[in-house]
Structure 1
Amino acid sequence: MPLRVGVIGAGHIATIAQLPTLVQRDDVELRALVSRREDPSSLQRRWGFKHVYRTVEEMLDGDSLDAVFVLTPRGEHVEAVERALSAGVDVFCEKPLATATADAVRLAEMAEERGRVLMVGFNRRFAPTYVAAREAFGATGAAFCVAQKNRAGSEYRATFENAIHMVDLLRWFCGGEVVHVAAAAAGSDLWEEDGSAALIRFSTGNTGVLVAARTAGAWSEKLDAHGQMRSAEVIAPDSVAITDQGVRTIRTMSPEKFGWATATETFGFADAVHHFLDRIRDRQEPLTSGWEAAKTQRLLDQILQAAGLPIEEQAGREWSSKAVQ
């Protein structure tokens, strides 16, 4: 029986990431869309939604759904996720789960108490290059891991909005609980920093380093991991090089090898959607569950505080690159 899916927000991230994957699944029925567009008919025709609603409440009251995708700006995540969980619906939420860690923890607890699947879109854990790099270190994890996401030009709460992906990767690669954090930030505007860097020590004995420069000459995302006489070098999203006992193997996301792959596949968006739908079927905990998202956000708070940056939104200045449509 097809899974009846509702989508809240069909802006930029939805149209390049989740929706193209959902429409390709034979076991999914795009049942409902929540959109603030004055005329959402083009969205309805393009993606094949059965019904369109103006609010989350109207959608949950008007349709019987198995799952909901929350793809709105981050400031609207908590209310939408909470309403869906209260209605007994499984939820996929774009990152971050909440603007405050306490809310992320509360939503994770709520999903657990109600027996609902709650997954957060930390898609890098599903990107083929990062998956291959992580597999090189097995259960032990990487002894040293450096994750970088750099770009030209800053943005509102740059570390929180964008570098959170790399913080999540450091947790995934190094494993264990956080035991020490040291960090520094650059720039005079605390809510629009020029960049940040952090050193994180984990209970496994492994060490992670974050670099997020917004004064870089160009966009770049990369990760270097080392341990057990192995190294993994990821140049996202296109290549991963694994060196094991002196033997180096390079895997590239080339058209010849992988077909005409798009960002939906290379950055892990598609596999994240598939993973969520599979967890709905088998009722197992997702790799990027609500609890995992809360732990990543708690570490991000520690980094921000150590760097002298605020952990809260600045009143009147809330912003996100993911426009709701």
Structure 2
Amino acid sequence: MRVLVTGLGDIAHKGYLPVLAANPELELHLATRDQRVLREAGRSFRVPHLHASVEHALEAATFDAAFIHAATSAHPALVRLLLERRIPTFVDKPLADNLAEVQQLVALAERQETLLTIGFNRRFAPDYAALRGADTDLIVMEKHRHRQADTPRKVVFDDFIHVVDTLLFLAPAPILRRTIETHVEHGLLKAVTLMLAGDGFTAIGTMHRDSGLDEERLDVIGNGVRQSVRNMSELVRSAGTECHHRRGDWTSVGRQRGFEDMCADFLTAVREKRPTPAADILATHALCEAITFHADAQATPDRPSYTNISAN
């Protein structure tokens, strides 16, 4: 399988290239306009097929699939370019930083009958994935940053989107109600809380951008048991007493954080010609747009705001 990878920054080096380069079934091609980065990536991961741009790569070869790890602002144009050639495409979250473009790209994928997948690695992280389908009354996910307040759209679509998607992934029944709370100061989003509820369960996601520590914690509670995942590396099961499980010393970061299984699932989906999971993509990005609207309304007093919103 010939696979194109573009966007060779930090996330590609840490999460994707170690996984993809180790797969003997793949013929990897790398593309970026930064020639120094291109040469170093090719050398580091022993990839001989290097291209000065995605356009040059598409002129030089045909591809069975593509991975996009470029900056968010570059996603729509790159995704559109690949989908128009009917190349199954995996792109880091978010697909775009606004719902209108997300809808357009999902519609294009469906018209082209070409797989489009978004990189939500927490759906494949072993400790998170194991909690799906658990007997759940309450889900609480916290993802905090230390002194990283930023504009609402950037915070929500580039970071809080992981919280949104994880809550939707773990929710044991349809979402019937939602509540949004945001704290904005001088145009910067400092804190956000999302509550989703349905029959018999509540799911709460929260992020503080001026926290004392960068940290992530997931708690799933039900039937007298609390299961907690801390920083995606330690699982604590509490049922009267605490039982701690840490990832093994030889467990790779790619395995623990879901990158291995996520890449494998996408490549399998390409081979099986699966359709684009349009409903999942749209649901996550639509919630992000609603949260951004709420935060922007706080920053603009004459604009209508809202918190309690029907899920329908």
- Is TM (by shorter chain) over 0.5? yes
Deviations 1:9-42 (A, max 9, x none): 1111100011000011111110x22212133322
How many residue pairs match? The answer is: 295
CA distance in structure 1 between the partners assigned to 2:98 and 2:56 by the alignment: 26
Unaligned residue ranges in structure 1 (runs of 5+):
312-325
Q: Secondary structure at the match of 2:178?
A: strand
Residue 209 of structure 1: aligned partner = 204
Q: Secondary structure at the match of 2:282?
A: helix
Residue 150 of structure 1: aligned partner = 144
Unaligned residue ranges in structure 2 (runs of 5+):
300-312
Q: Secondary structure at the match of 2:211?
A: strand
Computed over aligned residues only, the root mean square deviation of the Cα atoms, in angstroms, reads: 2.4
Corresponding position: 1:275 with 2:265: yes
Residue 254 of structure 1: aligned partner = 248
CA contact (8 A) 2:149 2:210 kept: no
1:1-325 equivalent positions in 2, closer than 5 A = 3-30=1-28, 32-39=29-36, 40-137=38-135, 142-156=136-150, 157-190=154-187, 192-202=188-198, 204-243=199-238, 249-255=243-249, 259=250, 261-284=251-274, 289-308=277-296
Q: Secondary structure at the match of 1:193?
A: strand
CA distance in structure 2 between the partners assigned to 1:71 and 1:189 by the alignment: 31
Displacement of 1:164: 0.9
Name which structure has the greater RCO, CA cutoff 8 Å, separation 6+.
1
Displacement of 1:273: 0.9
CA distance in structure 1 between the partners assigned to 2:143 and 2:76 by the alignment: 26
CA distance in structure 1 between the partners assigned to 2:184 and 2:107 by the alignment: 36
Work out the percentage of aligned pairs sharing the same amino acid. 26
Residue 319 of structure 1: aligned partner = none
CA distance in structure 2 between the partners assigned to 1:200 and 1:56 by the alignment: 40
Deviations 1:72-129 (A, max 9, x none): 0111111111111111111110000111112222222222232222111100111111
Residue 310 of structure 2: aligned partner = none
CA distance in structure 2 between the partners assigned to 1:148 and 1:154 by the alignment: 15
Going from structure 1 to structure 2, the CA distance change for 1:61 and 1:310 (only over 3 Å counts) comes to: farther
| TM-score normalised over the length of structure 2 | 0.86
CA distance in structure 2 between the partners assigned to 1:176 and 1:310 by the alignment: 31
CA contact (8 A) 1:129 1:236 kept: no
Displacement of 1:228: 4.1
CA distance in structure 1 between the partners assigned to 2:247 and 2:108 by the alignment: 39
Going from structure 1 to structure 2, the CA distance change for 1:248 and 1:217 (only over 3 Å counts) comes to: closer
| TM-score normalised over the length of structure 1 | 0.82
Q: Secondary structure at the match of 1:194?
A: strand
Residue 318 of structure 1: aligned partner = none
Q: Which amino acid aligns with 1:295?
A: A
